[in-house]
Amino acid sequence: MNTQQVPPFSHEVAKCNAVGGPEGFQAIVGQSEAIRRAVDLAQRAVNAPTVVLLEGPTGSGKEFLARAIHSAGSRRAKPFVAVNCGSICATLLPSQLVGHRKGTFAGASRDHKALFEAASGGTLFLDEVAEATPACQAQLLCALDEREIRPLGASHAVRLDVCVIAATDRKLTEEVAQGRFRADLYFRLSVFEIRVPSLSERRTDISLLAEHFLQKHTAGLDRRVGGFVPQALEALACHDYPGNVRQLEHMIVRAIILSEEGALITTRQLFGDRRGAEQ
């Protein structure tokens, strides 16, 4: 096993490999045409008076891009509130979105501020929006059209001052065709749509991302790792990533933990015995 020691990865190199642009986008690493196209559109969406829809596979970095849009805009000092539409109980999500007043239903022991209100002045990120229930979809459509919400049990509406960014790993046009997603809500969400590429669509970025995650997590784990042997980077570039950027990051974290202090990461740390113990 190659244990040659080299200087740790330089943060200055990581910055040179970022796509650049306004604050918030500078942390996005990559040089491929696919990621540059997505970032260019995202930069145009900053402060845009419309909903932004991010469509891309799981683990591709949709929330990361949403946070970049928020951080680059005039709302950066206000909250960024993220809600996963697929992880909240179907009976609670409508109440979460618009809020409720004390005594509205069993268990409502106090007033509950809506997610729209919690994000007031900032950004509400609706992840996995395709998972929203029909009732939730109806409330979203009403809120986006009227720019106001009426908390459950309230006697008056609350005006909204919030940027909405939605994200999905499904093709919403197919969801509409199958009757699982409202067509009118889709058209309301898709005014400014950005396709977030999978890692397989940006393979030239894999080595840059691997080096970036190495620098990031060696600092976080208080470990010193010299870098990668050439075979390891070649193997990473050819690997399939159904989990996309998130999967690559987890692989690098595991390899750092398994590696010897000051050594180079080999394919064994990355892939186990599947790529051979000698590399």
CATH 3.40.50.300 fits 46-197, yes or no: yes
**Helix (H) or strand (E) segment spanning residue 269:** helix 267-271
Which pLDDT score, from 0 to 100, does residue 72 have?
95
Which pLDDT score, from 0 to 100, does residue 111 have?
62
State the number of CA atoms in the 13 A half-sphere of 276 facing the CB: 6
Class of domain 11-16+200-275: mainly alpha
The residues spanned by each domain of the chain are 11-16+200-275, 46-197
Nearest residue to 65 (alpha-carbon basis) of 99, 14, 25, 29: 25
261: Cβ contacts below 8 Å, ≥ 6 apart? 223, 224, 225
Which pLDDT score, from 0 to 100, does residue 117 have?
83
Residuewise pLDDT in 10s, the chain (279 residues)? 333 333 333 333 334 355 555 677 988 999 999 999 999 999 999 999 899 999 999 999 999 999 999 999 999 999 999 999 877 766 666 667 766 566 565 655 566 677 888 898 999 999 999 999 888 898 889 889 988 776 665 657 778 889 999 999 999 999 999 999 999 999 999 999 999 999 999 999 999 999 999 999 998 888 889 999 999 999 999 999 999 999 999 999 999 999 988 899 999 999 986 544 444
Which pLDDT score, from 0 to 100, does residue 133 have?
87
Query: Does the predicted model carry a pTM greater than 0.85?
Result: no
Nearest residue to 119 (alpha-carbon basis) of 83, 157, 87: 83
34: helix, coil or strand?
Answer: helix
CA distance 155 to 146: 17
Give bridge partners of residue 100 from the DSSP assignment.
Answer: 112, 152
Which pLDDT score, from 0 to 100, does residue 151 have?
63
Nearest residue to 223 (alpha-carbon basis) of 252, 260, 248, 250: 260
Asked if 93 and 114 touch (Cβ cutoff 8 Å), the reply is no
